[in-house]
Amino acid sequence: MSAPKVVGVVGAGSMGSGIAQLAAQSGARTLLFDAVDGAAARGAERARDGIARLVAKGRLEGDAQAIGARLELAGALEDLAACELIIEAAPESLPIKHELFAALSRIAPDAVLASNTSSIPITSIARAAQDPSRVVGLHFFNPAPLMKLVEVIAGLESAPEALAVARAAGEAMDRRVIDAKDGPGFLVNRTNRPFSLEALRLLQERIADVETIDAVVRAAGFRMGPFELQDLVGVDVGFEVSKSFHELSFGEPRWRPSTLSAQMVAAGRLGRKSGRGWYAYAEGTPHRGPDPEDPPAGGGDGRPVLISGFLPIADELRERAADAGFDVSEEADGSVPWLIVECGPGDEDSAPLQGAPRVLLCAEGPLAALDQGGAAAGFHALPPIGIVELTRTPATAEVSAQRAEAFFQALGRRTVWVADAPGLVLGRIVAQVVNECAFAVGEGVGTPADVDDGMQLGLNYPRGPLAWADAMGIDHVVMILDGLREEYGEERYRAAPLLRRVLAFHDDEHLRHDHGEP
């Protein structure tokens, strides 16, 4: 399928002008329309300025003036009659989109009509068109000229030929094109739902405060934490999206909105745009200070540590501990180590490791359940290790807490103390993101490769969630989910069937091996 040679864009805001810029860069004659007087001219100017900047920086080949000349203003919708593809980037209002698609399907009956909506089902939009089979979703990510991703969404009646035109257009724009089925959030926004929702739940339960949650997430490679992101997008925008997800899913527990978001919106604390959200924003003053440096690794001084467990995190800890100068063993040999680090459940036939201060991985349960009445401290981390989160109970011995903190800092890792829970902070957020990805793949909404590429290219994830799950171990993910479900008794934490199938039947395989695809 060749890319369309004439592309129309309806809506000249930041997204519409960005899409028009991409269309012009792809070589298509591009017609930009906006019903607001002067908006199309302003949008075209932004697009041409963007083209000029990319050419000047060497990121786009060609003559900026010639590329910009492909972008033309349309004075009326009727001027789009010759377009092969028309992309709608109007406000997120179903009545507005219905009016547009009804008109466009009369004006350009042979054109493929694509919506850039991020939240309204394509099937709902398509019913206003004379031929719903010509309607698809073509969802770009903001800012469109910089984000290398576009989702092609198939509505219930979208024809294969129409989807092929949309894919060809996206590829001509030099985007990574991923396919998604119609539904709440499509693929990428759906699989990212727990990033903010689980952070809000952690805050509500006082597992950690806003600053700590964000710092832990940033240390894992994310550009900003979930609360910083909410402030950037708008707390009110995120809350409305949450309500839409919950309504469209008929009450799916994983997508239940947070009462904390409702409270923030009621208070007018909407984020950066209002000057205050989860953080305060004053002109010339950063909303937070810089993250501290990691401590230098070393100082093990030959002290014996026993690191048990079969999870990948145990292997990374053994390697780091050896490099830091500790005398590392995997099994008890009769001597008393300086510290015992237990990474997950041990052999059922083995006696509990005792005789020294202990720190337990809080994955399959909270520390209070894993070491009932015992003196151990708790920890959690995911490979590759960023910050190590530590926790304790009233029974935790001070020597266990002190040695745990000293041990992880000797590995060159920062530590932070949080309240007790399965997976603590990062493990809990990542496990829920992986779980949502597994639900989406299992339901055929997208492929594993599309999920991972979508999260990295569309949302700047430091790594694909499913590849991350393979690296940390699917059993580690399921341990956290099962621990949370046991702790709270909520369907919100039920593990996706795909995760259990991988564990039960594919012990030597991974989520990235395209399970669930035909």
Active site residues: 118, 139, 151, 189
CA distance 192 to 514: 19
CA distance 359 to 383: 17
CA distance 234 to 343: 39
CA distance 344 to 330: 13
Q: Residue 13 class from Cβ within 10 Å (0-12 exposed, 13-18 middle, 19+ buried)?
A: middle
Q: Residue 145 class from Cβ within 10 Å (0-12 exposed, 13-18 middle, 19+ buried)?
A: buried
Token pair 């809000």: residue: 200
CA distance 19 to 32: 10
CA distance 187 to 20: 23
Token pair 């929702």: residue: 197
Q: Residue 367 class from Cβ within 10 Å (0-12 exposed, 13-18 middle, 19+ buried)?
A: buried
Phi, psi angle pair for 62, to nearest 5°: 120, 180
Phi, psi angle pair for 233, to nearest 5°: -70, -35
Mutual angle of helices 497-505 and 474-488, in 10-degree steps: 130
DSSP characters for 372-419?
Answer: TT---EEEE--SSP-SEEEE--TT--HHHHHHHHHHHHHTT--EEE--
What six digits make up the tokens of 163? 């989807």
CA gyration radius, the chain: 26
CA distance 172 to 131: 25
Query: b/e for 30-55, b at 16 or more Cβ within 10 A?
Result: bbbbbeeeebbeebbebbbebbeebb
DSSP label at residue 115? E
Query: b/e for 479-503, b at 16 or more Cβ within 10 A?
Result: bbbbbbbebeeeebbbbbebbbebe
- CA nearest neighbour of 79 among 3, 173, 10, 138: 10
Cβ 113 vs Cβ 103: under 8 Å: no
Write the single-letter amino acid at 403: R
